[in-house]
Amino acid sequence: MFRPQIKVLDCTIRDGGLANKSQFKLETVRAVYQAACAAGIDYVELGYRNSREMFSPADYGLWRFCDEDDLKRVVEGVDRRGTKISVMQDAHKATAQDVLPKEQSVVDMIRVATYVKDIDKAIRLANSATEKGYEVSINIMAISHAAAPFLDEALQQIEEETKALAVYVVDSFGSLYSETVDFFVKKFQTYLKTKEVGVHMHNNQQLAFANTIEGIIKGANYLDGTLFGLGRAAGNCPLELLLGFLKNPKFNLMPILDVIGQHIIPLQTEIEWGYHVPYMLTGILDKHPDWATKWMATPQKHNYVAFYNQVTELPDQ
Amino acid sequence: MFRPQIKVLDCTIRDGGLANKSQFKLETVRAVYQAACAAGIDYVELGYRNSREMFSPADYGLWRFCDEDDLKRVVEGVDRRGTKISVMQDAHKATAQDVLPKEQSVVDMIRVATYVKDIDKAIRLANSATEKGYEVSINIMAISHAAAPFLDEALQQIEEETKALAVYVVDSFGSLYSETVDFFVKKFQTYLKTKEVGVHMHNNQQLAFANTIEGIIKGANYLDGTLFGLGRAAGNCPLELLLGFLKNPKFNLMPILDVIGQHIIPLQTEIEWGYHVPYMLTGILDKHPDWATKWMATPQKHNYVAFYNQVTELPDQ
């Protein structure tokens, strides 16, 4: 019943890092890594490899930079089994120089996140990583805002100019429904004849898991999830739900359940993620979730009508 | 873009009553009713009309019985607009005598909830309500446990022997995926040539909204939702998400946002509903959510592996 081509990637620390400036304790990151290895997850993403010129180390934690020495402290002594490590580079916030040749690194895959407008930067980063010996993906963020002709051109460029293994549909605003997931996965497949399609969904409308299933049904084989959905704002597709659905006997749900109970649930006192009406509204209205995050930090966080009025009065971005 | 045949029913007080023994304050019930009317919701379900012989009024609140006098206190002075009132009767826990003739009641629809095995009781209650002048639906609970030949027979009986307007697929355990929603909606349509199909979904796997959309796509026209998903265990399809999806201009989201912020969010200190790993596990394993509710009341509520082991060792029910 399962499709062996499917690759599951846990990006708890990377996407969750958008909610706490990547300030996870080493102990937490090690626990997540260990659980992913024990569960048979294909990839675990331990953070960003972004530039210190764009992010101050005084403000951001280690996992915004993922120095090799820090990654080594994560993996040391853990039975890695088949689980690979990825880090993400933002096309407009990272440099190729920060990536060592593969043989000097514990990283297996570089995922380049980009807006359509930055596709040339993304391709340069991706190709540099390919030349250095890494697996590579390109993750197209804010897909719901991608203007049609530029998206088509970007996909054509990726197909012709890169050796990316996979290209992801990234629903940054949590605004997609099954019909729009269907549309984007099919469009990606039209252009990407030599690459896999991936899906990275956000949960503003409680559709991250459902939209990931829709992606699977339409043929996407690279799937992102996070532990208990931990991630920016409303969070992501919960990894535990995804494993429950996939039915691949290579996965073991028990280490995932265990690490959620012991390490992720306690984070709820520090990080507020999950379904909240302001996030739902930015999802429905296809706006950046940061508007909701800011609103939720105010004393009138539960005045949803006022927030709706504020967001609908914003100029289109 | 919208389908005018679609009827939306808010069952916040009725399904939420399974989480607090129907002990809502009159003020809360009035606020929900008022918001549903102002929002243009088609039906609002104010509770159960169940038997005092099955439920002690010492233990259960007013909304387990929905006496006409109590309902009158809810509706008094509210601009009703087009919103109708429903109450639910459990086939095995209610009697026809508790239903007055329609002209003596503020209720418009009686919804009879039943397991497949109780279908004859359900039909008797449904037909009694029809004779007394009410609209009627039959809601088939625990659909994921319905054995195929008995379900087929029950649907055939409902079609031939009742005047129910709608028959609902009720995913009591939150175990359906889009494919199984598809299966049940199509099966219902095969038998129910003169009736509408409805869907009532639970959120154990964060699929209540997505499965409701799947039902809509396949032709279900009666849709249940609750405010902020309030309901037993993981809760229900959030009404605010459903309205956002439906796009019917007759609906006004603002009163819904307002009542959630003012009356539903404060209930979070008394009632724990929403996505939790134990509910997720009963959903995946297709078990009754009460196992999870009991576990969550223990000091080891976050020991998910122990709970998984407990549930998978249960005999099939």
Question: Do B209 and A206 make contact, defined as CB atoms within 8 angstroms?
Answer: yes
- CA-nearest of B63, B241, B282 to A174 is B241
Contact yes or no for A206 and B210 at CB 8 A? yes
Residue keyed to tokens 């009317």: B37
Contact call for B304 and A208, based on CB within 8 A:
no
Question: Does B190 fall in a domain?
Answer: yes
Same domain assignment for residues A183 and A307: no
CA of B279: which chain A residue's CA is closest?
A241
Q: Confirm whether B172 is domain-assigned.
A: yes
Q: Which residues of A269-287 are buried (b: 16+ CB within 10 A; e: fewer)?
A: eebebbbbbbbbbbbbbbb
3-state DSSP assignment of residue B172: coil
Predicted complex: ipTM over 0.85: yes
Distance between CA atoms of residues B284 and B136, nearest Å: 32
Q: What is the CATH number of the domain that holds A59?
A: 3.20.20.70
> Nearest 5 degrees, angle CA A186-CA A240-CA A181?
15
Residue B1 lies in a domain: no
B181 and B213 housed in the same domain: yes
- Cα-Cα end-to-end distance for chain A: 43
Verify whether the Cβ–Cβ distance A260 to B277 is below 8 Å.
Answer: yes
Chain A residues contacting B via beta carbons under 8 Å: 177-178, 203, 205-211, 213-214, 217, 228-229, 238, 240-241, 244-245, 253-254, 257-258, 260-262, 265, 274-275, 277, 280-281, 284, 302-305, 308
pLDDT, tens only, A154-191: 999 999 999 999 999 999 999 999 999 999 999 999 99
Q: Which pLDDT belongs to residue A184?
A: 98
On whether residue B281 sits in a domain, the answer given is yes
Q: Are residues B175 and B294 in the same domain?
A: no
- How many angstroms separate the CA atoms of A130 and A136, rounded? 6
Same domain as A287, residue A174: no
pTM, full prediction: 0.96
Backbone angles phi, psi at B220, to 5 degrees: -65, 135
Question: What digits encode the pLDDT tens for the residues B122-155?
Answer: 999 999 999 999 999 999 999 999 999 999 999 9
Q: Which two tokens stand for residue B272?
A: 């724990």
Q: Which residues of B touch A280 (CB under 8 A)?
A: 238, 240-241, 244
Q: Are residues A156 and A208 in the same domain?
A: yes
Is the same domain home to B186 and B126?
yes
A317 is a domain residue: no
| B181 close to B295: Cβ distance less than 8 angstroms | no
- Can you give the C-alpha Rg of chain B in angstroms? 18
In angstroms, how far is CA B184 from the centroid of its own chain? Answer: 17
Q: Are residues B31 and B81 in the same domain?
A: yes
What value does the mean pLDDT of chain A take? 97
B125 and B192 housed in the same domain: yes
In a domain, A298, yes or no: yes
Indicate if B243 and B298 belong to the same structural domain. Answer: no
Say if residue B125 is in the same domain as residue B214: yes
Beta carbons of B206 and A203 less than 8 Å apart: yes
Q: Is the pLDDT of residue B265 over 60?
A: yes
> Rounded mean pLDDT of A272-290?
97
Residues in Cβ contact with B30 at an 8 Å cutoff, skipping those fewer than 6 apart: B73, B74, B78
Task: Clarify whether residues A177 and A292 are in a common domain.
Answer: no
Question: If you average pLDDT over every residue of chain B, what do you get?
Answer: 97
Q: Is B308 found in the same domain as B160?
A: no
Decide if B210 and A207 are in contact by the 8 Å CB cutoff. Answer: yes
Q: CB B178 to CB A254 under 8 A?
A: no
Instruction: Please tell me the predicted confidence (pLDDT) of residue B314.
Output: 83
Which residue in chain B is spatially nearest to A242 when comparing CA positions?
Answer: B205
CB contacts, 8 Å: A253 with chain B: 308
Phi, psi of B130 (to 5 degrees): -60, -45
State how far the Cα of A204 lies from the Cα of A281, in Å rounded to an integer.
8
Structural domain that includes position A284: 277-312
Total domains present in chain A: 2
